[in-house]
Structure 1
Amino acid sequence: MGSRSTSSTASWGWATTTSAPSRGASGAPGTRSWRIRTTSEPGRVPAHVARPLGALLATLRPPGHRPDSGRAVLRPQPDEFARLATQGNLVPVAREILADLETPLSLFRKLDDGRTAFLFESVEGGEKWARYSFIGTGARAIFRARGAEIEWEEGGETLRMKAEGDPMEVLRDRIESYRPVLVPGQELPRFAGGAVGMVGWDWVRFVETIPDDNPDELGLPDLWFHFPETVVVFDNIKHTASIVRHVHLEEGCDPAARYAEEVEALDRTVEILRRPGPPEPRHEPVRAPMAVRTSMSRDEYQAAVKRAKDYVVAGDVFQVVLGFRHTVPLQVDPFNLYRMLRHINPSPYLIYMQMEGPVLISSSPEILVRLEGDQIDVRPIAGTRRRGRDPEDDQFMERELRTDPKEIAEHVMLVDLGRNDAGRVAEIGSVEVTEFASIERYSHVMHMVSNVQGRLRPGLDWLDLLRATFPAGTLSGAPKVRAMEIIDELEAVRRGPFGGCAGYIDYSGNADLAITIRSMLVNQGEVSLQAGAGVVADSIPELEFKECNNKARAMIQAIDMAREGQD
């Protein structure tokens, strides 16, 4: 380190000496010693030492940092909130904490309210975890609709009414009533609050005139959404958790009092997240055989495929998507069932959503529609093969999929259907195919995928887009209306959540809704799942039955693993 002057001033850095033997207090050679690094100019005080300590630390803190004994930084601060409260009627308040010892699963278990909690995760392309996961708890309001009968629960009261038209208009009206305020410096991802829930297949009867002749075995609402009180955004890159609540500023309220209430609730959530989580429950193996009940037998399904082919040959439709339901007794913890499914079939839309008793568990690979600002995204998936036994076999299966005339024709048809659906509400000339016939791999199957984009026309919103695209052509067939009529004739039960969508509509009217396929419903002591296959003129009934089973395999395997007590 060179010669040292007694008048030199030490800096903040420390350096270890390892280049030559040294003697410690004992005089033993080779003992490591620590030396204070010195400046080279005697009598000169470096700028960072000359400044007061407080001023130096201030340069190291991010904007907005406050020395609050380790508590997470709050945004907005009271004075800023007072200004923002004049700009709208909904102001998000948030704290961000370090969560590097947590996972989205552990945070969910700490916050699970047992009634309306949800967890959204994502694996992009089936192979890479997306940056953000979303956890929600509590319910400021709950919206339910079955047919035209509506229930709105809020503030401890339940309002019942009958819709004169589409019950979804009630949800739209509530979302339109919000004027959310953007908080400077509050870097929140795409979703931080709004309506979270699901749209069942049978809502389609408010979009098109479709028969309704099949029994309803599930008894769920056609529409179910709730507005979570607290949303926690887990950043999988930074390993932080942002806890978000919203200050609702109704006319005549005291903004400062409302702000104080939400900050207090935020702080309670932070304390819950910093406590040790509940002990992991013991999952005992289930010894009893798994009794499976199906809505259609093999012979019945294959007969339905043959009948659908007759309609195709007659020119009624180009394709019909026919499915059937598996139902097994619930003998496992639903959350452990989700854990097994996300383990064996990671997907872009992983959903665990409690709906006041029933639980929707999904590993969907496909969005129905996404709206961000005015940008529309529709991502049709059509064309499926099993995964290979080894890399060579996997490549063989991909080549087979890419060169199969039936699969190519089906995919092109459904991409065109997606373009037409988006075009019903998009600006003229804005619709384009931005990705065509890519292959995405999942645990048990690979899919052919395309992406369609457009710009929403001024004056239209998420509900107009949903009506234009619902249900997905990949779950109905084409033309849609006639295909849905045939589905109602040939399938044995109402679809319920299957083939509908689940996700969110945020307070600004942005939406991200996944098709509820590769999904399970836990309800009244049973687990139900459903899978389908696209029937065209040259379909082979036995192969379509096998395709349904291939698509259901990951869910059946997840049930098996949960029954075995795996952790």
Structure 2
Amino acid sequence: MRIESFALLDSKDKFHQKALHWSGQFDEISFFNSNGMSDQWGKFEQVMAVKALHSFRANQNVFDGLDAFLKLHRSEFIPGFLSYDLKNEIEELQTTGKDELEFPEAYFFVPAITIRWTGDQVHIEAEDPVAIYQAISDTQIPEALPIAVHVQSRWTKSEYTEAFENVQAHIQRGDIYEVNLCQEFFAENADVSPFEVYHRLNSISPTPFSSFFKLGHHFIMSASPERFLAKQRGKLISQPIKGTAKRGTNAIEDQEIIADMLRSKKEIAENVMIVDLVRNDLTRSALPGTVEATRLFEIQSFKQVHQMISTITCVQAPHVANVDVIRNTFPAGSMTGAPKIAAMQICDQLEARKRGIYAGSIGYFDTVHDEFDFNVVIRSLLYNKQKRYLSFHTGGAVTNQADAEHEYQECLLKASAVLKALGTSLDD
């Protein structure tokens, strides 16, 4: 039997660092961190779940299996992840890229222990919450050790440019309007502490959908700024990002960069295309007439970049199950392009490696309140500790107006926080 207890904290950040290191004894860890940026739809400042009592792991028939799993556990907090390549289950698509990381296509679990932070309080739900609080409080944070990895680019700059020009040829033929072209950066023989890397990444690039996930020897260290899809009180919320610019050196320069983004026909056009795509996806799960773009072209400023974000909402139709809502909208339109199926086909043909968890989603189902919240896995490191293989992708929208040099530099900008967390730079 699990009971809940709470305690006051002197230092929330130190306690959550201790909690992460304490959690290392378990094979299953999920940690979501809003970094104090939670919005009207966010339910948690920070929440950790560890040790699977029940789990769902699948590589095929994922959505039907997940729906059955959720129906078995109707009063639980259930975290997990979905691979981008579940697109192949939703549409008649194939992934031909090599998979070095070997994550399952989907994994969710019912935790034995759940820890939630709210203000200066920590709430622990477990069989013996007091003992867990004491164990975490007594945990020593190990001294940070240097990280040494040899990061390489899967594509040379000329190979990226060739793929970019291929996409633009499709656009000019009228096959698609926009494609989110992605490239992989990787390190072999990488020995790193996932907890230390995540801590560094979150310090360098704090974001509202930051997360850490462990499944055996598989790790996800995410600094995602993007919400894929949430449900709260019967309303569905999607917040795609399209439009990225580097931060300025001072407040005046930042204001000029933001003004330039809002004047940019290219940035606005990219954002509008994805907003229309998301609106179309949501109509399959919505009460008729309720889909609306409630906020357009908002600029949110993070430590590394400015992002253009729009918000689309609707009321969920009562006959549509939560898993079907995910199925009807997955993967995130901001990571595909438009039209969606054609864009995904082109990405499969051009990209050198399977995306896997990248461009997929990490989040949770709250079956107690019939709600959920999922991010888009971007600005994220994926690590197979057993194979010592570390990987991350970056990408950007290619349109008819896009410039190869600009888009390539945007990929490097998006990679900068991850590279800094690893204490390294790219090897040409």
Give the TM bin, normalised by the shorter chain. Answer: over 0.9
Q: How does 1:74-113 map to 2 (within 5 A)?
A: 93-102=3-12, 103-113=15-25
In structure 2, relative to structure 1, the CA distance for the partners of 1:487 and 1:124 (3 Å cut) is farther
Contact persistence 1:126–1:442 (CA under 8 A): no
Give the alignment's Cα RMSD to 1 decimal.
Answer: 2.2
Alignment of 1:229 with 2:109, yes or no, is no
Q: Which residue of 2 aligns with 1:122?
A: 34
Cα contact 1:320–1:476 (8 A) shared by 2:
yes
Aligned partner of 2:407 in structure 1 is: 544
* Match for residue 241 of structure 1 among 115, 119, 122: 122
- 1:214 is displaced (CA, Å) by 1.9
Structure 2 distance, partners of 1:446, 1:125, is 15
Maintained 8 Å contact 1:113/1:137: no
Secondary structure, counterpart of 2:88 in structure 1:
helix
- Superposed counterparts of 1:136-151, under 5 Å: 136-146=49-59, 148=60
Does the CA-based 8 Å contact 1:199-1:501 persist in structure 2?
A: yes
Counterparts of 1:463-474 in structure 2, within 5 Å, are: 463-474=323-334
Asked if the contact 2:150–2:424 (Cα under 8 Å) also holds between the matched residues in 1, the reply is no
Q: How far has the Cα of 1:123 moved from its partner? A: 3.0
CA deviations on 1:231-290 (whole Å, 9 max, x unpaired) are 01111x2x1111114xxxxxxxxxxxxxxxx4xx334324424x4222x3223335x6x4
2:20–2:195 Cα contact (<8 Å) kept: no
Q: What is the distance in 2 between the residues matched to 1:392 and 1:123?
A: 25
Q: Indicate how the Cα distance of structure 1 residues 362 and 304 shifts in structure 2: closer, same or farther if over 3 A, else same.
A: same
Normalised by the size of structure 2, how large is the TM-score?
Answer: 0.92
The whole-number CA distance in structure 2 between the counterparts of 1:525 and 1:436 is 42
What pairs with 1:48-447 in structure 2 (closer than 5 Å)? 93-102=3-12, 103-123=15-35, 132-146=45-59, 148=60, 166-180=61-75, 193-235=76-118, 237=119, 239-245=120-126, 262=127, 265-273=128-136, 275-278=137-140, 280-286=141-147, 290-329=149-188, 330-447=190-307
How far has the Cα of 1:174 moved from its partner? 2.0
Q: Cα offset for 1:211?
A: 2.5
Q: Residues 369 and 378 of structure 1 are in contact (CA less than 8 Å); yes or no, is this contact kept in structure 2?
A: yes
Structure 2 residue aligned with 1:488: 348
The aligned counterpart of 2:358 is 498
Query: How far apart, in 1, do the equivalents of 2:29 and 2:203 lie?
Result: 21
Query: Following the alignment from structure 1 to structure 2, what is the Cα–Cα distance between the partners of residues 111 and 333?
Result: 13
Any idea what SS the aligned residue of 1:346 has? coil
- What residue ranges of structure 2 are gaps of 5+ in the alignment? none
**Counterpart contact for 1:382–1:449, Cα < 8 Å:** yes
Contact preservation (8 Å) 1:317, 1:479: yes
Letter in 1 for 2:164: V
Distance 1:364 1:231 in 2: 22
> Which portions of structure 1, spanning 4 or more consecutive aligned residues, are displaced by more than 6 angstroms?
none
How far apart are residue 384 of structure 1 and its match? 0.9
Aligned mates of 1:211, 1:118 — CA distance in 2: 29
Q: State the shift of 1:220 in Å.
A: 1.4
* Partner amino acid, structure 2, of 1:222: E
Partner secondary structure for residue 109 of structure 2: strand
1:131: Cα distance to partner? 6.0
Greater RCO, 1 or 2 (C-alpha within 8 Å, sep 6+): 2
1:125–1:441 contact (8 Å) kept in structure 2: no
Q: Answer yes or no: is the 8 Å Cα contact 2:296–2:309 preserved in 1.
A: yes
Instruction: Tell me if the contact between 2:38 and 2:45 (Cα under 8 Å) persists in the aligned partners.
Output: no
Aligned counterparts of 1:321 and 1:124: Cα–Cα separation in 2: 29
Is the 8 Å Cα contact of residues 434 and 453 (structure 1) preserved in structure 2? yes
1:529 maps to 392
SS in 1 for 2:56: strand
In 2, distance between residues paired with 1:443 and 1:114?
32
CA distance in 2, matches of 1:535, 1:358: 31
Rounded to whole Å, the distance in 2 between the matches of 1:292 and 1:415 is 34
C-alpha contact (below 8 Å) 2:292/2:313 kept by paired residues: yes
1 CA distance for matches of 2:330 and 2:338?
13
Contact 1:112 1:137 in 2 (8 A): no
Partners of 1:124 and 1:130 within 8 A in 2: no
SS in 2 for 1:489: helix
TM-score, with normalisation over the residues of structure 1?
Answer: 0.70
Evaluate the alpha carbon distance shift between residue 178 and residue 225 of structure 1 in structure 2; reply closer, same or farther with a 3 A threshold: closer
Q: Give CA-to-partner distance per residue, 1:459-490, whole Å, 9 cap, x none.
A: 11211111111111110000100000000001
Q: 1:131, 1:478 → 2: CA distance?
A: 33
**Counterparts of 1:373 and 1:131 in 2: how far apart (Å)?**
15
Opposite residue 185 of structure 2, the aligned amino acid is: H
Q: Measure, in 2, the Cα distance between the counterparts of 1:342 and 1:270.
A: 23
**Distance in 2 between the 1:92 and 1:458 partners?**
31
Displacement of 1:511 in angstroms is 1.2
Identity %: 28
Partner of 1:554: 417
CA contact (8 A) 1:120 1:352 kept: yes
* Structure 1 residue 178: Cα displacement: 3.5
The more displaced of 101-110 and 429-438 is: 101-110
3-state SS, counterpart of residue 383 of structure 1: strand
Stretch of structure 1 that moved more, 530-539 or 507-516: 507-516
**C-alpha separation between the residues in 1 aligned to 2:37 and 2:336?**
24
Distance 1:391 1:271 in 2: 44
**Partner AA of 1:136 in structure 2:** A
1:385 is displaced (CA, Å) by 0.7
2:2 & 2:233 partners in 1: Cα distance? 19
- How many residues are paired up? 418
**Where does 1:38-57 land on structure 2 (aligned, <5 Å)?**
none
Answer yes or no: is the 8 Å Cα contact 2:30–2:80 preserved in 1.
no
